[in-house]
Amino acid sequence: MSDYAIIGKRMPRVDTPAKVTGEARFTADLKFPRMLVGKVLRSPLAHARILSIDASRALALRGVKAVVTGQDTFGEKWGVFRYTQDQCFLPMDKVRYFGEEVAAVAAVDEDTALEALELIKVDYEELPAVFDPLEAMAPGAPLVHENFPQNINIHVRIEVGDVEGGFAASHLVREDTFTAAEESYFQGEPYAVVARFDLEGNLEIWMPNAGPHMKAKPLSNALRIPLHKVHVRKVAIGGAFGGRSEISPADFICALLAQKTRRPVKIVYTREENTVCTRQGHSMITTIKTGVDSSGRVLSREVTCYMDGGAYSSTGPIATSVPFLCMEQAYKMENVRYNGFRIYTNKPIRGMIRVHGRAFACGVDTQLDMIAQELGMDPMDIRLVNAREAGEYTPTKSFVASCAMKETILKAAQKARWKEKRGKLPKWRGIGIGCNSVQTGFPMGIRGGSQAIIKFNEDGGATVISGVVDNGQGNDNMLVQIAAEELGLKPEDIQLVSADTELTPTDPGAYSQVSTFVGGQAVRLAAAQAREKLLGIASEMLEARVEDLVARDRMVFVKGSPQKAIPIQKVIRTGLSKGRVVTGEGSYWPKVDPRREWVQNPYGQMCEAFSFGTTIAEVEVDPRTGKVKVLEVVAAQDVGFALNPLVLEGQFEGAVAMGGQGGMLSEYHFWDKGRVMNPTQLEYKLPIAQDMPKIHCIIVESHDPKGPYGAKEAGMSIAMSAAQAYSAAICDAIGVYLKDYPLTPDKILKAIKEKARG
């Protein structure tokens, strides 16, 4: 066991006291003098040309201070990549989905703003629309964007090895198609933005975000103001789950209204707006063909996936790739071909979500179970045969330095008593296993690295400056824990300045599971440098060599002689009296292959580390209703090293709720053409406390050679393996392999009845 003072401990999070008292300020809680309320007018049509907008009656309404439309913008188009720039934040020519932004007002209060929206007259020419990805690809289908034939937004093509040869050599080949509906994030906090300009023309803006620097750059582009004048501020954030990674039109619109009125403006989304007008998960049609030898080893695999991308590109190239990447990491594959198509439709925009493709992940694992059954194998054994191992390369050429996939399978199986239960449970009970892997980071260009700055203060405490943002997962605490450990301080001695684009250096943002690995590492390096300077001063005071000194519990002492310690505060004050300031800088740049590109060149080192996990679920199905009761879940993940088991368990448990309980049993959208019919929590069924089973968390540590203290990622991989395990357990319970997700009671009941009829 490592001799850490703070790292590895069950430390309650530093941000929680303010959250339990109600003092933590979320964006909608902010209030400024003369602040106006902003509201957005949205398209009532799925696809239409905008002929004219007449806002004169709205502007004449008392209390209305501004109306903005596309005519008030520079018409800059947003896209995560240069080749995906397809979205105007206020479109001028046409609208492409029901709910798209058309105009916005700022008024003295909400009632006035809402009344003003009704007074804006928009003339539309309705256009034919497409709502299904396969129909959208068919010849003659209406085009969502004129310059994208067949509405193909992104095509990711990966081919490795000899796929046909692999199939020819296979003992058994199966091909199956799996489908899944859209799901939504349902972050606790609906989206909100507050914007104002200061006297120097700097934009100050607050919003839930997964990377303040990733917000600032597109705002600077769209408003045509210098980047250094866009100050995205820190604020409490009510969840992201992949849905707040990009700029939102609301950010731009709010800033535009603030600019026009020279007053602070606040926009708070309704729950319906948060569902329809932010991001959703892609619906998917995935065809998987797998060939194995007689031992169950996968020899060849071909996957073709059609993803409904909605009206704009969003993170399209990434979203089209990650479902495949997760599975190529989790399982060995020598010969593999992937064709991922992201298709434009006239539906809301799709982005990255915690479970990257139910029809993908559950499809791969369900098919493994089908193959295992045909071969007379145990589902656990076929996973052990194919599980990724450390020291290997993924098909797309990422080296896997650390991997304890097999250990997560074996430990989860032992805890769940898999061998005693599988195939031996009473009727209508089932147990299933799922395995997955996620990336710790992506190639991110110039914002792919993180830098941190640390300064000791006169009282012996320290200020840590980092661009890392906390959107609920505990990143603030992670930074404080690392800094306190390295500097020999208590967590309460650390002042954290973070997630503010004026004050903090660049950071990739809290997505792609990279915060600890990159941002945490930068803080660790900065702290190590500051400690070196601290010990340099102390070495003169203690007449000892720097390398023999230890900083711990606010003291500096010679290793082995804690009785002759001097307080850190005294060292700092001694340094100050000699003009020696104790600061540190750290920078971490992940060693990824910069030539790797999502579409043009999807090969090379993707990120430095990958996490691996296994979930096992045990369920009971009511054959009269098709309802599923989940009895017990075991979640095991190779996180590299557990910096804080208390926080990690929370990530595991939340992942089971979102990926398994909600993602596999109840969460999906249903539609009337392009209109979401269940945009609120009344109709979209999220798990509640009574739904949740007992969850056993197993932390597996593979000690990644590059991660800070050996740490990698936690929280996303379990969401995916939980979805797979829930699906597998239900299939086991009813004796039918289901292929359309989520597995709602109607589908389960239908399968039971069809099986009974033979």
Partner 1 sequence: MSRVPLSIKVNGEELELMVEPHWTLLEVLREELDLTGTKEGCGEGVCGACTVLLEGEPIRACLTLALEVQGMSVTTVEGLAGEKTLDPLQESFIRHGAVQCGFCTPGMIMAAKALLLKNPCPQEEEIRRAISGNICRCTGYAKIVEAIAAAAPQCNSSIRGPLQGPGEEPT
Rounded least distance, CB 16 to partner 1, Å? 4
Told to check if 705 binds partner 1 by CB under 8 A, we report no
Structure tokens at 616: 């096992």
Restricting to residues 72-91, name those near partner 1 by CB under 8 A: none
Residue of 645, 678, 703, 750 that binds partner 1 (CB under 8 A): 645
Find the shortest distance in angstroms from Cβ 116 to partner 1: 17
Build a one-symbol-per-residue string for 510-549: x at contacts with partner 1 by CB under 8 A, - elsewhere.
Answer: ----------------------------------------
Neighbours of 431 (CB within 10 A): 27
Angstrom distance (rounded) from CA 743 to CA 738: 8
Q: Which of residues 394-453 bind partner 1 (CB under 8 A)?
A: none
Nearer to partner 1, 655 or 729 (CB): 655
User: What distance in Å separates the CA atoms of residue 144 and residue 146, rounded to the nearest whole number?
Assistant: 6
Q: Which residue in the set 530, 657, 723, 730 belongs to the binding site for partner 1 (CB under 8 A)?
A: 657
Which of the 8 DSSP states describes residue 548?
Answer: G
Using the rule CB under 8 A, which residue among 464, 572, 619, 647 binds partner 1? 647
> Binding residue for partner 1 (CB under 8 A) from 650, 663, 710, 742?
650
* Contact mark string toward partner 1, 21..60, x via CB under 8 A: xxxxxx-xx-x-----------------------------
Helix (H, G, I), strand (E, B) or coil at 563: helix
**Which CB atom, from 19 or from 564, has the smaller least distance to partner 1?**
19
In angstroms, the CA 364 to CA 287 distance is 9
Nearer to partner 1, 144 or 714 (CB): 714
Helix (H, G, I), strand (E, B) or coil at 517: helix
Does residue 8 interact with partner 1 by CB under 8 A? Answer: yes
**Between residues 302 and 667, which has the closer beta carbon with respect to partner 1?**
667
For residues 351 and 248, the answer to whether their CB atoms sit within 8 Å is: no
> With respect to partner 1, which residue has the nearer C-beta, 302 or 701?
701
Q: What are phi and psi of 371, to 5 degrees?
A: -65, -45
Find the shortest distance in angstroms from Cβ 12 to partner 1: 5
Question: Which residue from 654, 663, 707, 708 is in contact with partner 1, where contact means CB under 8 A?
Answer: 654
Identify the residue among 209, 261, 661, 666 touching partner 1 (CB under 8 A). 661
Q: Which stretch binds partner 1 (CB under 8 A): 161-169, 223-231, 472-480, 728-736?
A: 472-480
Site for partner 1 in 253-312 (CB under 8 A): 268, 270-271
In terms of CB distance, is 29 or 585 closer to partner 1?
29
Report CA-CA distances (Å) from 591 to 388, 391, 394, 419, 625: 21, 16, 16, 41, 52
Among 147, 563, 577, 690, binds partner 1 (CB under 8 A): 690
The DSSP secondary structure of 694-714, one letter per residue, reads: EEEEEEE----SSSGGG----
| Minimum CB distance to partner 1 smaller for 101 or for 485 | 485
* Residue 363 contacts residue 178 (beta carbons within 8 Å): yes
The answer to the question of residue 559 lying near partner 1 (CB under 8 A) is no
Question: Alpha-carbon distance 242 to 116, whole Å?
Answer: 33
239 binds partner 1 per the rule CB under 8 A: yes
CB of 695 to partner 1, least distance (A): 6
Closer Cβ to partner 1, 12 or 594, answer by number: 12
Smallest gap from Cβ 718 to partner 1, in A, equals: 10
Contact residue for partner 1 among 54, 673, 680, 746 (CB under 8 A): 680
Closest CB to partner 1 among residues 151, 615: 615
Q: Is 473 in the site for partner 1 (CB under 8 A)?
A: yes
The only residue of 187, 280, 386, 539 in contact with partner 1, by rule CB under 8 A: 187
Q: Copy the structure tokens of residue 544.
A: 């000892």
The nearest distance, CB 682 to partner 1, in angstroms, is 5
Return the closest-CA partner of residue 304 out of 145, 179, 164, 410: 179
Note whether 704 binds partner 1 by CB under 8 A: no
Are 340 and 155 in contact by the 8 Å Cβ rule? The answer is yes
Residue 190 to residues 28, 65, 185, 196, 417: CA-CA distances in angstroms? 9, 25, 10, 20, 41
Backbone angles phi, psi at 603, to 5 degrees: -135, 150
Residue 472 is a binding residue for partner 1 (CB under 8 A): yes
Toward partner 1, which CB reaches closer, 29 or 76? 29
56/681 with CB nearer partner 1: 681
**Nearest residue (CB) to partner 1, 167 versus 191:** 191
Q: Is 613 in the site for partner 1 (CB under 8 A)?
A: no
Binding of partner 1 by 16 (CB under 8 A): yes
> For residue 85, what are the CA distances in angstroms to 79, 89, 220, 427?
4, 11, 15, 54
CB distance 720 to 434 below 8 Å? yes
Residue selected from 292, 656, 664, 729 as contacting partner 1 according to rule CB under 8 A: 656
CB of 683 to partner 1, least distance (A): 9
Q: Are strands 203-206 and 230-232 parallel, antiparallel or unpaired?
A: parallel
* Packing angle of the helix pair 716-734, 745-757 (nearest 10 deg): 30
Count residues binding partner 1 (CB under 8 A): 68
Q: Does 183 bind partner 1 (CB under 8 A)?
A: no
Residue 755 in tokens: 């099986």
The residue within the footprint of partner 1, chosen from 204, 493, 649, 732 (CB under 8 A), is: 649
Find tokens 């061998």 and name the residue: 419
Alpha carbon distance, N-terminus to C-terminus of the chain: 57
Q: Is the separation of the CB atoms in 101 and 326 below 8 Å? A: no
Report DSSP state, residue 284. E
Residue 756, interface with partner 1 (CB under 8 A)? Answer: no
What is the spatial distance between Cα 145 and Cα 156, in angstroms, rounded to a whole number?
A: 19
CA torsion angle 742 747 749 753 (round to 10)? -140
Question: In whole angstroms, what is the distance from residue 314 CA to residue 312 CA?
Answer: 6
Question: CA–CA separation, 273 vs 665, rounded Å?
Answer: 24
Q: Which is nearer to partner 1, 129 or 639 (CB)?
A: 639
Least Å distance, CB 2 to partner 1, is 11
Query: How are the residues of the chain apportioned to helix, strand and coil, as percentages rounded to the nearest 5?
Result: 35, 25, 40
Sign of CA dihedral 340, 346, 347, 351: positive
Backbone angles phi, psi at 419, to 5 degrees: -65, -30
Residues in 480-499 that interact with partner 1 by CB under 8 A: 491
Q: Which of 230, 616, 658, 749 binds partner 1 (CB under 8 A)?
A: 658
Task: Give Cα 630 to chain centroid, integer Å.
Answer: 26
CA angle 400–418–402, rounded 5-degree value: 10
Stretch that binds partner 1, among 69-77, 113-121, 225-233, 470-478 (CB under 8 A): 470-478
Q: What DSSP letter does each residue of 35-58 carry, written as one string?
A: PEEEEEEE-SSSSEEEEEEE-HHH
Q: Does residue 132 bind partner 1 (CB under 8 A)?
A: no
CB contact at 8 A, 325 and 158:
no
Torsions phi, psi for 283 (to 5 deg): -80, 160
In the bound state with partner 1, the residue whose beta carbon lies nearer, of 101 and 470, is: 470
Minimum distance of partner 1 from residue 93's CB (angstroms)? 33
Among 561, 589, 681, 755, binds partner 1 (CB under 8 A): 681
Among 124, 191, 241, 668, binds partner 1 (CB under 8 A): 241
**Among the residue ranges 368-376, 400-408, 433-441, 657-665, the one whose residues contact partner 1 (CB under 8 A):** 657-665
Provide the binding-site residues for partner 1, judged by CB under 8 A: 5-6, 8-13, 15-26, 28-29, 31, 185-190, 236-239, 241, 268, 270-271, 471-474, 491, 642, 644-647, 649-650, 653-658, 661, 680-682, 686-690, 692, 695, 697, 699
